[in-house]
């Protein structure tokens, strides 16, 4: 089965073709970063309009690269995400499937991220604990198979990626803020400031990053426009956020008895987080898997893969076009 995957949940248009036998055959991505940078963040209406311009040419590009006329099925991101952006991918995906007379399936965006490491040469085996970290989500999930997910903990306020972006903005860094903050943190003095590690001094696996963001705001006001001071604040924030994620992952592995950890989502590309997870891997005797950097952020490959697993199990949608801006991962079934 060759599945065309379409991702349009936010500000990146991703299209890919995945084969059940041949693996990833082709993929393409168009990022809207430069357009949204003018406004300091994602403008939903502009994002939707740009998806309209990009998605069909990318579909043609991917099919041409793979050398096929049509796929055997279409998978598209049905949610969660920006409703206008989702409707573009859902409408195009459902319409293409109807025109080609092939099955279509709406895929959960975070399930795509969770399964993205399966695209690697050495994919993780079930069961495992997954840490999903992005601009909109921070979750720890116990995973026993495709569709078999138990949410162990999640952020009670800001997602960690959102906290990165907001802290970057208060430091005067350009959009996208997370990577800019990480780059600035490389020049920071790790000894100057120590930020709190929120909710690590109590039981449980939930997260909270709003207080950490406020702590960064107050500290940034102390250093003013001093360039080194801003770098020191960025370093302290990143260290605190990464430490918090690592502590909770260690706790989740201990509580579940799992020996495998998957880290996925946009923030999983962060170099300091990857380094800290490598330390956890060595200290705790566990295996930690990441998607390649290109598949950490939103992409069509993860949607094509997730859709292929679901379609191979006999799941598909009717003619309804599904787009759900809110869709809890816990609502999914196998």
CATH topology of domain 2-115+295-331: Nucleotidyltransferase; domain 5 (3.30.420)
- Whether the per-residue pLDDT at 271 is higher than 90: the answer is yes
Strands 23-31 and 12-19: what pairing? antiparallel
270 in a labelled binding site: yes
178 in a labelled binding site: yes
Superfamily designation of domain 126-290:
ATPase, nucleotide binding domain (3.30.420.40)
Please give the pLDDT value at position 218.
96
pLDDT tens, 142-162?
999 999 999 999 999 999 999
Mean pLDDT of the chain: 97
DSSP letters, 30-82, are EE-HHHHHTTTS--HHHHHHHHHHHHHHHHHHHHHHHT-S--SEEEEEEESS-
Question: Would you place residue 334 in the very low, low, confident or very high pLDDT band (cuts 50, 70, 90)?
Answer: confident
CA–CA separation, 27 and 17 (whole Å):
6
DSSP letters, 179-241, are HHHHHHHTTS-TTT-----TT-SSSSS-B--HHHHHHHHHHHHHHTT-HHHHHHHHHHHHHHH
DSSP letters, 301-320, are HHHHHHHHHHHHTT----S-
pLDDT tens, 97-130?
999 999 999 999 999 999 999 999 999 999 999 9
Question: Would you place residue 333 in the very low, low, confident or very high pLDDT band (cuts 50, 70, 90)?
Answer: confident
CA–CA separation, 51 and 60 (whole Å):
14
What does the domain layout of the chain look like in residue ranges?
2-115+295-331, 126-290
298 in a labelled binding site: yes
Q: Tell me the two tokens of residue 114.
A: 């969770």
153 in a labelled binding site: no
The reply to whether domains 2-115+295-331 and 126-290 share a CATH topology is yes
CA–CA separation, 60 and 18 (whole Å):
15
314 in a labelled binding site: no
224 in a labelled binding site: no
Q: Tell me the two tokens of residue 293.
A: 């950097």
Residue percentage of the chain with pLDDT more than 70: 100
134 in a labelled binding site: yes
Arithmetic mean of pLDDT, 20-48:
97
Please give the pLDDT value at position 10.
97
165 in a labelled binding site: yes
226 in a labelled binding site: no
- Whether the per-residue pLDDT at 250 is higher than 90: the answer is yes
Please give the pLDDT value at position 237.
98
β-sheet bridge partners, residue 17: 4, 26
Q: Are the CB atoms for 273 and 267 separated by under 8 Å?
A: yes
């Amino acid at each position: 089965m060759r599945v065309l995957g379409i991702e349009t949940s936010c500000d990146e248009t991703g299209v890919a073709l995945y084969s059940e036998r041949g693996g990833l055959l082709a993929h393409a991505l168009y990022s809207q970063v430069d357009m949204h940078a003018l406004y300091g963040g994602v403008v939903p209406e502009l994002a939707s309009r740009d998806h309209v311009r990009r998605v069909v040419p990318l579909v043609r590009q991917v099919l041409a690269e793979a050398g096929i006329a049509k796929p055997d099925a279409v998978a598209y991101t049905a949610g969660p995400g920006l409703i206008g952006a989702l409707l573009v991918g859902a409408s195009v995906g459902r319409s293409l499937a109807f025109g080609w007379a092939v099955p279509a399936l709406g895929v959960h965006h975070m399930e795509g991220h969770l399964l993205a490491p399966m695209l690697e040469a050495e994919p993780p085996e079930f069961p495992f604990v997954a840490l999903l970290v992005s601009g909109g989500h921070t979750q720890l999930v116990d995973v026993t198979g495709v569709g078999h997910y138990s949410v162990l903990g999640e952020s009670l306020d800001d997602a960690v990626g959102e906290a990165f972006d907001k802290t970057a903005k208060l430091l005067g860094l350009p959009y996208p803020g997370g990577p800019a903050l990480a780059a600035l943190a490389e020049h920071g003095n790790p000894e100057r400031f120590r930020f709190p590690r929120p909710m690590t001094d109590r039981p449980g696996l939930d997260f909270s990053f709003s207080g950490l963001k406020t702590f960064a705001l107050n500290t940034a006001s102390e250093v003013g426009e001093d360039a080194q001071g801003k770098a020191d604040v960025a370093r302290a924030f990143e260290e605190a956020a990464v430490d918090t994620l690592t502590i909770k992952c260690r706790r989740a592995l201990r509580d579940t008895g799992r020996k495998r950890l998957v880290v996925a989502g946009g923030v999983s590309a962060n170099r300091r987080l990857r380094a800290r997870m490598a330390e956890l891997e060595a200290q705790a005797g566990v295996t930690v898997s990441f998607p390649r950097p290109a598949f950490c952020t939103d992409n069509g490959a993860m949607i094509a893969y997730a859709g292929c697993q679901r379609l191979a199990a006999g799941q598909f949608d009717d003619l309804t076009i599904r787009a759900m801006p809110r869709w809890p991962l816990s609502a999914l079934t196998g």
